[in-house]
Amino acid sequence: MTDLEFHPVAGIFPMMTELEFAGLVADVRDRGLLEPVWLHRDGRIIDGRNRYRACREAGSDPKFRTFEGKDVELVPFVVSLNVHRRHLNESQRAMVAEKIANARQGERRDLVEISTMTQTDAAELLNVSRETVSKARKVATQGVPELAERVISGEIAVSTAAIIADFDEQTQHKLASMEDTRQIRALARELDHQEFVLRGGVALGLVASTENEWYTPARYLDAARGVLGGIDLDPASSPMANEIVQAAAFHTQTDDGLEQAWKGRVWLNPPYGDLPGKFVAKLVEEYEAGNVSAAVALVNSHCTDTGWFQPLWDYLLCFTDHRIDFGSAGREKTSTSTHGSVFAYLGPDPRAFVEAFSEFGAVVRRWT
């Protein structure tokens, strides 16, 4: 078999992954090649690079067909063949549309020769919105290469990648190299939310610190929500954490929960370092002043000897009989704590707290 050349139009769609390719080779060995490899009249391959390679690998003769249309019809022809055959998601299709839209003259001479399509036409051909194609262009022009690759491979959405592409290269590399795509999405949302304060390297700090944040697993929050009847305020949180906490309002490091007025039903899992004491003191103060109507707070059980913990002994406490696996930002990773935890209940319905929290450990009240 002689070596055939590839026409630039054959590069519009991504190559298969190694795994997909191995599957194709096996299939060709079993059943032969079912779909032909399409050639340009000049003999170059316009569609079927993977099939051609697979036939070579399997030692099987490929079937060829020649495209007899005009060159301006080449791109729509190859797109229609692939869109029907491959199961590409919207983001992957947008990356293809971006590739064939002509606005990047000069950069893509090979394709510019054969495609004079506008972004709008390319969007229509690939059945995606023009806006999605603009996002794809941002990823392709401003993003680091591995960011675009993860969209092309279908792992992350182009909308997520477009947010990331706005940040400095180091931040982009860091996010694009994370294995956990849910974590990438959550961090991108966080960056988007805080975008007005983050530029020039600060984002990387946020990514790093957010990675180190430990959030409360849902089952404890479900119990707290049950006891409180809902959470009006989480004074120490982040947009990502609040997806699970589901508080009607929350404060973050940016607006500083310690500087805000607290009211209603509060959930509190304070930040670490020297802050738990300050948050707990404010909680007790706001509760005793009647601003906070009820609250569940979660702190380390190895803090019971600190000065700031002492006021909590006046309330119902639940000492966990296990170590809570606090999920990291993306929630899939877990990290077993090196210590137990204690929940404190400040509110009018101690029985509800006992019923809901006994399954997590011993609920105690100070004798004197």
Ligand X SMILES: C[S@@+](CC[C@H](N)C(=O)[O-])C[C@H]1O[C@@H](n2cnc3c(N)ncnc32)[C@H](O)[C@@H]1O
Instruction: Give the interface with ligand X as residue ranges (CB under 6 A).
Output: 213-216, 234, 236-238, 241, 245, 251-253, 256-258, 269, 271
Nearer to ligand X, 126 or 236 (CB): 236
Least Å distance, CB 160 to ligand X, is 20
To ligand X, the closest distance from the beta carbon of 283 in angstroms equals 12
CA torsion sign for 256, 259, 261, 264 is positive
Nearer to ligand X, 275 or 352 (CB): 275
Separation CA 116–CA 123 (nearest Å) = 13
Token duo for residue 232: 């009006």
Measured from the CB atom, the residue of 29 and 193 that comes closer to ligand X is 193
Nearer to ligand X, 17 or 260 (CB): 260
Q: Which residue, 151 or 247, is less far from ligand X as judged by CB?
A: 247
Name residue 323's beta-bridge partners: none
- What 3-state DSSP class applies to 93? helix
Please choose, from the candidates 219, 220, 231, the residue with its C-alpha nearest in 3D space to the C-alpha of residue 347: 231
β-strand pairing of 249-250 with 233-234:
parallel
Nearest of 251, 257, 304 to residue 278 by alpha carbon: 257
Closer to ligand X by Cβ: residue 253 or 304: 253
Q: Cβ of residue 349: shortest distance to ligand X, in angstroms?
A: 21
Q: Closest approach of Cβ 357 to ligand X, in Å?
A: 15
Least separation in angstroms between residue 238's CB and ligand X is 4
d(CA 343, CA 304): 12
**Which among 184, 239, 180 has a CA at the least distance from the CA of 215?**
239
Phi, psi of 116, rounded to the nearest 5 degrees: -115, 30
Least CB distance to ligand X at residue 161 (A): 24
